[in-house]
Amino acid sequence: MTSLTTVTRRIGGLEVGAIGLGCMNLSHAYGTAPSEREAERLLLTALEVGVVHLDTAALYGFGANEELVGRVLGQHRDRFVLASKCGMTGVDGKRVVDGRPETIRATAEAALRRLRTDVIDVYYLHRLDPAVPIEESVGVMAQLVEAGSVRHIGLSEASAPTVRRAHAVHPIAALQNEYSLWTRNPELGTDAVCRELGIALVAFSPLGRGLLTSSPPVMSALPAKDLRHGMPRFQGAAYAANLALQRQLAELADEAGCTPAQLALAWLLDRGDHVIPIPGTRSVDHLRENVRAATVPIAADVLRRAGELVNERTVTGRRYSAAAEADIDTEAFPQAG
């Protein structure tokens, strides 16, 4: 099958496609997981169409997602850049943030086994542990690099000051923060620090957790355990207002001859060569649609209008609940968040 990816970007010394794949929703957080057969088909198709940057974490499915990636793609390890995360795992069925060196080391050892590899290309600290100085967490991750089990270090949901402190201990190759038309938090500081220090800004949830697509979620149809039920932007009047924005974005995309998802991803790619979106999906068709966003021709004026339509001033609701925000180190807007 012909690769759909022709545009590349860099994470440290690694070349990746402009569009990666977030693997979380194959095992975690978004309702009922797909069957093993469906998940396997998606991962293998990703390689076939040229996706070479795959992102997982110890937290996703409490290890199940790493096991899935390792089982399906272990024999193809030389064909893709593998990213995973430590510092937030499942313990006795609950999410636990733990950045202690001994925990990070143990998590990395378990990840290598599950992923069926001897090296993780990009290893992120998933969350800042407020009880552990960032220097200690990054220090042990630097030891993993020295030992050869990790190639590059990254941070996730980290603020600009935290990035600077970490980078002083060991070069940070990637910062994975939520970034999209409707979540502009990186523009409060982390985007600038990434540009300054040569760090890739890996944008998770670049499609607004499904809102910035042709088929935004119908909340009443989602399983009770779907994490969006707990997010203010997907609740009541706030969601109704945000759906109105989605309809306007869809009209603009139709005018441009692309899909809303492609417009949203193209807008992100236009932010700079250091920005790398990693949309997740369970659909092979949506996977191909997303990857094509790197090459679909969209006029600069359309990208500008998309940014003016959907942004921190026009979106209703914070991105996380107050309880979830307690785990987040990133900068936030006073209202939209």
d(CA 142, CA 167): 11
d(CA 84, CA 103): 15
Q: Is the pLDDT of residue 25 over 90?
A: yes
Q: How does the average pLDDT of the chain come out, rounded?
A: 95
Its pTM stands at: 0.96
What's the sign of the alpha-carbon dihedral 328, 287, 56, 53?
negative
Listed in sequence order, the DSSP H helices in the chain are 36-48, 64-73, 101-115, 134-147, 160-169, 190-197, 236-256, 260-269, 284-292, 300-309, 322-325
C-beta separation of 309 from 252 below 8 A: yes
User: In order of start, what are the domains of the chain with their CATH numbers?
Assistant: 14-210+268-298 (3.20.20.100)
CA-wise closest residue to 81 among 173, 27, 23, 15: 15
d(CA 235, CA 198): 38
- 79 CB neighbour count, 10 Å cutoff: 11
pLDDT, tens digit (0-9, with 9 covering 90-100), for 66-103: 999 999 999 999 999 999 999 999 998 899 999 999 99
pLDDT, tens digit (0-9, with 9 covering 90-100), for 251-290: 999 999 999 999 999 999 999 999 999 999 999 999 999 9
C-alpha angle with apex 48: 44 to 50, nearest 5 degrees?
120
Q: CA of 240: how far to CAs of 90, 91, 303, 336, in Å?
A: 33, 36, 24, 15
| Residue 230 backbone zone (phi > 0: left; psi -120 to 50: alpha; other: beta) | alpha
CA-wise closest residue to 129 among 138, 120, 118, 117: 138
Q: Is the pLDDT of residue 2 over 60?
A: no
- One of 30, 60, 179, 239 is an active-site residue; which one? 60
> In the structure, what pLDDT confidence band is assigned to residue 6 with cuts at 50, 70 and 90?
low
Encoded amino acid at 204, one letter: F
d(CA 308, CA 16): 29
> In the structure, what pLDDT confidence band is assigned to residue 31 with cuts at 50, 70 and 90?
confident
* Interval 149-170 mean pLDDT: 98
- Residue 30 falls in the annotated catalytic set: no
Q: Is the pLDDT of residue 191 over 90?
A: yes
Percent of the chain whose pLDDT exceeds 70: 97
